[in-house]
Structure 1
Amino acid sequence: MGRKEFEASIAEGGHRRLARMIGEWEGTFRLWFQPDHVACESPQRGTIRGILDGRFLLHEYRSRFGDDPIEGVAIYGLHLDDNAFESAWVESFATGTSIMFSAGPASADHFNVLGSYGDGQGGPRWDWRTEIEQPSDDELIITMTNISPQGEAAKAVEVRYRRVATGV
């Protein structure tokens, strides 16, 4: 990636679209272990900020699963040379001691990446899709889908954020 390409992406391309997500957010975290049965619903608060001169976004958040606190961190980016979205995600609840790396073709539509994880028992890996949509400047929807080794997809997580108004 050259400086010129990155500056163009910041000015009017994919990095500018990603930068729309920067801000303070609050909303609702929902978790499914089985389709059509919400296992948990709790408030979630997050901060998304640009890092490394806007090359990446850092998303830090807190929620709960029952009485247990959840903390998570994700880095989102647009790899210009590969025209791909990328992320690295860690969380106190879902990822254990692993880092989930995900990638997917960049599109103007929304952030969409695919990673995978092991079952902890040596079986086949499961896929994990993370999608981020921003229907308006003040709304962010993060959907995570669990995909079995047989290809069966089921919504696992949904976070619906509203931008927190900042007082002047």
Structure 2
Amino acid sequence: MAKEKKQEKQMDPQAMMETYQKLATPGEPHKQFASLAGSWTTKTKSWMEPNKPPTESTGSCEQKMLLDGRFLQQECTGDMMGQPFTGIGVIGYDNYTKKYVSTWMDSMGTGIYVMEGTASADGKTITQKGQYDDPTEGHMKLRGVTKIVDNNTEIFEMYGAGKKGKEMKMMEIVYTRKP
């Protein structure tokens, strides 16, 4: 009995290159990121328990575009819970998956947060989900919401659901562009 070989349809190399180039070309979401490049002050509120007042801190962030306008990187410094704090994040929009993808790492731990999600129809609210292994709560589901209020104001909110499964607001950062 002869084995039949399936012939896979080969994509024309020129068509394949055009597809890759189209997917690699920054679009509207990337232009919106570019509008956020610059120097920012931050006011952060952090909640350890839902019914207790938050701790508050201030800091600053430098945001810049990377890789020819494909990604926005932010490098932030300040104080967090009375300790010096440094953090680096990168956000991008994946033209292929049509999702926003971000990473975050900071001096408060050794893990890297990875989140992905979508934006509202006007692109001004980006909601992403991820997960994190917290030393006290165990495996946590995270939800981050970025609101672009205007060219000079951005608000980031982080929510988490731990052992009990109930989501609570963990953090709010108000970014104000420096003059």
Fold equivalence (TM over 0.5): yes
Aligned counterpart, 2:34: 19
Q: Secondary structure at the match of 2:22?
A: helix
Deviation at 1:120, TM superposition (A): 3.6
Aligned counterpart, 2:150: 136
* TM alignment of 1:5-84, pairs within 5 A: 5-7=23-25, 9=27, 13-84=28-99
Deviation at 1:54, TM superposition (A): 1.0
Q: How many residues align?
A: 159
CA offsets per residue over residues 3-60 of structure 1, 9 Å max, x none?
Answer: 3355460xxx111122221111003111101114234111120011000111111111
1:103, 1:65 → 2: CA distance?
A: 25
1:136, 1:62 → 2: CA distance?
A: 23
1:74, 1:156 → 2: CA distance?
A: 18
Q: Secondary structure at the match of 1:33?
A: coil
Maintained 8 Å contact 1:30/1:38: no
Calculate the TM-score normalised by the size of structure 2.
Answer: 0.80
1:142, 1:81 → 2: CA distance?
A: 25
Maintained 8 Å contact 1:76/1:88: yes
**Which of 83, 100, 107 does residue 85 from structure 1 map onto?**
100
Q: Structure 1: 5+ residue runs without aligned partners? A: none
Question: What do you get for the CA RMSD once the two structures are aligned?
Answer: 2.0
Deviation at 1:140, TM superposition (A): 0.8
Calculate the TM-score normalised by the size of structure 1.
Answer: 0.85
1:36, 1:6 → 2: CA distance?
A: 46
Aligned counterpart, 2:132: 117
Q: Secondary structure at the match of 2:30?
A: helix
CA separation of 1:31 and 1:163: change in aligned 2, threshold 3 A: same
